Amino acid sequence: MTPTHEENANRWLMDAGLRPTRQRVTLAALLVGDGQHRHVTAESLFDAAKDDGAAVSLATVYNTLRAFCDAGVLQEITVDGSKSYFDTNVHDHPHFYWEADSRVSDAPSDELVIQSLPQPPEGMEIASVDVVIRLRKK
Ligand SMILES: [Zn+2]
């Protein structure tokens, strides 16, 4: 973890109103330390933390990702109803899901046009629309 990565991590946690515990700073630095958006799974972040020499358990990674989502600084993308990806870009945008390597990446949002949506049931409103475009080799 470089000093810049740690600074970025601390600022991100502060903006989220989260107490910068050592484990949160470690994971936040891996997520947003370089200022780039990324998509991770709990497992991929756990592996990255291990490679970085951090002593965190997979359960801690899960709980921390959950806390980041609750704070609104991470967005969860669910594919197949079971596999969760976490995105540091919390603005609405479509995703490609690469079936062959179980990977998620951003799809160009300016090329997505949603013309109409089904009327929500009485007393309900649409909270969000998730767009995941599944890819496979032709
Ligand atoms: Zn994304």
By C-alpha distance, which of 67, 60, 51, 57 is closest to 19?
67
* Residue 46 pLDDT level (bands cut at 50, 70, 90): very high
CB atoms within 10 A of CB 125: 6
pLDDT tens per residue, range 7-38:
999 999 999 999 999 999 999 999 999 999 99
Biggest CA–CA distance in the chain, Å, is: 52
What CATH number is given to the structural domain containing 47? 1.10.10.10
Which residues are within 5 Å of ligand 1 (an ion), measured at CB?
87, 89, 106
- For residue 1, pLDDT beyond 90: no
Going from the Cα of 8 to the center of ligand 1, the distance in angstroms, rounded, reads 19
User: Cα(3) to centroid of ligand 1, in Å?
Assistant: 26
Q: What is the amino acid identity at position 9?
A: A
Alpha carbon distance 25, 113 (integer Å): 38
Per the listing, tokens 């601390």 go with 10
Number of domains observed in the structure of the chain: 1
Q: How far is the CA of 86 from the centre of ligand 1 (A)?
A: 8
What gap in Å lies between CA 50 and CA 32, rounded to an integer? 17
Q: For the chain, what percent of residues have pLDDT higher than 90?
A: 84
- List the domain range (segments joined by +) for residue 13: 3-135
Distance (Å) from CA 107 to ligand 1 centroid: 8
pLDDT, tens digit, for every residue of 92-124?
Answer: 899 999 999 999 999 999 999 999 999 999 999
- Ligand 1 center–CA 87 separation, angstroms: 5
CA of 89 to the centre of ligand 1 (A): 6
Residues 22, 3: contact at Cβ < 8 Å?
no
The torsion angles phi and psi of 58, rounded to 5 degrees, stand at -60, -35
79 forms beta bridges with 83
Contact 85, 39 (CB under 8 A): yes
Q: How many CB atoms lie within 10 A of CB 108?
A: 9
Span from the CA of 95 to the centroid of ligand 1 (angstroms): 6
Q: How far is the CA of 106 from the centre of ligand 1 (A)?
A: 5
Q: What is the mean pLDDT of residues 87-95?
A: 93
